[in-house]
Structure 1
Amino acid sequence: MHAWAMGAAVLSVIASGAKAEEVVLSPSSAWVLDYGDHRCRMTRAFGEGPTRTAFMLEQTQPSDTFSWTVAGPLVDRFGKGKVQVQFAPAFDGFEIDHDASLRVAEFGTAVASVTHEAPPPTLISRTAKPRLRSEPDALSDGTARAARLRLLNPEHGRSIARLTLTKGGESVSLSFGSLEAPFKAMNACMDDLLVSWGMDPAELREATTAARWINSVPLVGKIQEFYPAKALEEGAEADYRLRVVVGANGRVSRCHMILLSRGSDFAQRVCDIMRREARFEPGRNAAGEPKPAFFSTKISYRVY
């Protein structure tokens, strides 16, 4: 794991709006990019002293969307409830639920979400066994759109000047200037991550069909039957990102369960099942040759 920094720190600015009490924060640190083993994360501080706030942008796989977190004393003002979010001026606002339970070390209360509406996750429990739901296109029948390696678009990043969070009469804005350079840095980090998985980013960009899980029905049932006894007794829950690398032979060569939230360790059994029993139709290039690919979905463990 290593870090990369860019940009210059400037002083924060506080302003007041006519309709709501608005706090506008300018950067107070450089961007720092963390090349993790299973994810890429960019962090920057905004404001100083009692308004010091952290913004984190994160991905666990190549994608045209990202997860984000804002943490700091000003988030405490929101309390629980609906929060309006806008990456402005390019994109429309949207609403998220904020339960005020998430915290980030050194900054405090946090609000977090993704830049798109996530699909329904897998729910695994002793009493409920809903159908496994993948990321968009991940269970596609193999179209060029599904196979395309999706990355953050720097042109979109250039048009994002700020992030604004609003609840009632409180509003906090982080002044980015632009997210073009951070998006480019995240894409470079993702290429590095793909190489660490044993994959060729250039080959993935040339793929015309995606890997397709062909025995998902019986394996989903096996995965859903398992809930660790200790975790069930304690009422422990967790959210994971399941990511597998599919070889040209259609077998799982690598498997990772990435913890997305607080929770117990449910990971090992799922990866054992995937490595031993999962079968995929491999991804293919324009010549029809089978090539390595990756498959990903979110799994949520819940007790009912």
Structure 2
Amino acid sequence: MKIVFASLGKGVIACALCLAPFHASLAKEKEPLILSPSSKWNLNYADDSCKLARFFGTGDDRVAVTISRFESGNSFHLAVAGKPLTHFSADHITMAFGPDGGSLNRGFMAGSLGTFKPALFGSSAHLLKRDDNDNYEEHAANTLRDLQTPPAADEEAAIQWLEVRQKARAPVHIELGSMGQPMAAMRKCTDELMTHWGIDVAAHRQLANLPIPTKSPNKWLTSADYPSHLLARGAQGIIQFRLSVDADGKPTQCHIQQSSRPEGFDRAVCKALMKRARFEPAHTRDGKAIASYWRNTVRFVAGR
């Protein structure tokens, strides 16, 4: 078994954006299944997240697409679910936004999305192309850049579709429509979300740095932190969390933003992080240390 952060450090299960263009080896060998919208976009203002959701196709071809964010920025968690994905493998797919958008080709997990089965989930997705890395200091710099520099409205508006691809299978081509207005609404939601945490969003857009871990976060959780009663029954979990970090770089509060449960995983994450997590605190551009936050995802993976 292992416990890993979803987006930081070498050797972790990384949900990262693929930099390379779609390779010829993944070229479409069959005509795509084209799905048109069958509902409007719905934006859910939850206590700890903002979620866009829309349905596409009808009957047995109906799929659900969700785009979720847990903070301001440009990355999001992507889920596509429905019967057309029945024979797709989470280990061998690519999800690509187009034309000329970002693509995600690793770190997917399979599951269900309410009554929609199967579902494929990916994190650290981006609507537009971007560089990515596994170094946590560079990751923090990219997170701050995303917070400070939203994409141009016309760039997001140019994204029109999402395609799920796997070699030797007919792609599922989802006609999203222009993503300009939906993503603008999402950004407004996440900015409001952060104000509920006591975060000055405008001030954070002027920071020199967000909190940076003083050592690799992968050292904050060990196999000993895997709840034994959950490991015994092979239970696995995905935990979205947020740490409040004071001006000395110490966590003052651990908050679970979303969890696949059981709750034993939630308690294990917060107990370990409050004890071991330490940071270089956030600084203003004039060098003043201020209170801020740090958020990430932890996965408990049994049997590997």
Normalising TM by the smaller chain, what interval? 0.7 to 0.9
Contact 1:85/1:163 (<8 A) preserved: yes
Contact 1:85/1:96 (<8 A) preserved: no
Larger radius of gyration, structure 1 or 2?
A: 1
User: Residues of 1 paired with 2:266 and 2:85: CA distance?
Assistant: 32
Which residue in the other structure is 2:116 paired with?
107
User: Residues of 2 paired with 1:147 and 1:181: CA distance?
Assistant: 23
User: Residues of 2 paired with 1:217 and 1:83: CA distance?
Assistant: 29
Which residue in the other structure is 2:174 paired with?
174
Shift of the 152–241 alpha-carbon distance from structure 1 to 2, 3 Å rule, reads farther
Which residue in the other structure is 1:39 paired with?
49
Which residue in the other structure is 2:58 paired with?
48
User: 1:90 deviation in Å?
Assistant: 1.6
User: 1:83 deviation in Å?
Assistant: 2.4
Which residue in the other structure is 2:159 paired with?
160
Which residue in the other structure is 1:281 paired with?
280
Letter in 1 for 2:190: M
User: 1:217 deviation in Å?
Assistant: 6.9
RMSD: 3.2
User: Residues of 2 paired with 1:209 and 1:19: CA distance?
Assistant: 46
User: Which structure 2 residues correspond to residues 1-150 of structure 1 after superposition, within 5 A?
Assistant: 20-78=30-88, 82-91=92-101, 93=103, 95-96=105-106, 101-114=110-123, 115=125, 134=136, 136-138=138-140, 147-148=144-145, 149=147
Contact 1:65/1:152 (<8 A) preserved: no
Shift of the 92–104 alpha-carbon distance from structure 1 to 2, 3 Å rule, reads closer
User: Residues of 2 paired with 1:152 and 1:45: CA distance?
Assistant: 26
User: 1:191 deviation in Å?
Assistant: 0.7
User: Residues of 2 paired with 1:83 and 1:155: CA distance?
Assistant: 28
User: Residues of 1 paired with 2:137 and 2:196: CA distance?
Assistant: 22
Which residue in the other structure is 1:206 paired with?
206
Please identify, of 171-180 and 86-95, the stretch whose mean Cα deviation from structure 2 is larger.
86-95
Letter in 2 for 1:48: T
Query: Which TM-score applies when normalising by structure 2?
Result: 0.75
Which residue in the other structure is 2:18 paired with?
none
User: 1:45 deviation in Å?
Assistant: 0.8
Residue identity over aligned pairs, in percent, reads 26
User: 1:186 deviation in Å?
Assistant: 1.3
Which residue in the other structure is 1:291 paired with?
290
Residue 300 of structure 2 is aligned to residue 301 of structure 1: yes
Contact 2:242/2:254 (<8 A) preserved: yes
Tell me the SS of whatever aligns to 2:202: helix
Tell me the SS of whatever aligns to 2:120: strand
Give the number of aligned pairs. Answer: 268
User: Residues of 2 paired with 1:222 and 1:84: CA distance?
Assistant: 30
User: 1:222 deviation in Å?
Assistant: 6.4
Residue 195 of structure 2 is aligned to residue 195 of structure 1: yes
Shift of the 27–226 alpha-carbon distance from structure 1 to 2, 3 Å rule, reads same
User: 1:180 deviation in Å?
Assistant: 1.0
Contact 1:62/1:150 (<8 A) preserved: no
User: Residues of 1 paired with 2:260 and 2:132: CA distance?
Assistant: 15
User: 1:298 deviation in Å?
Assistant: 2.8
